[in-house]
Copies of this chain bind each other. A is one copy, B any other.
Amino acid sequence: MIVENNINLDHIDLAILRLMQDNSRISNVHMAKELEMAPSAVLERVKKLEQKQVIQQYTTRINPSAIGLKLLAFISIKASHSLGCTTTAIELAKIEEVQEVHIIAGEDCYLVKVRIADSASLMELMRNSFSKITTIVSIRTTIVLETVKEQQQLVIPENKKIS
Contact = CB atoms under 8 A, between A and B. Distances in A.
Contacts of A78: none
A8 B147 CA distance: 23
Contacts of A60: 17, 20-21, 24, 55, 57-59
Contact of A64 (B59, B86, B154): B154
Contacts of A143: 104-106
A60 B156 CA distance: 12
A160 to B, nearest CB: 12
Report how many copies the assembly holds. Answer: 2
A4 interface: yes
A42 interface: no
Given A4-B66, A57-B61, A102 B146 contact: yes
Contact of A162 (B24, B67, B90, B148): B67
A143 B25 CA distance: 34
Contacts of A138: none
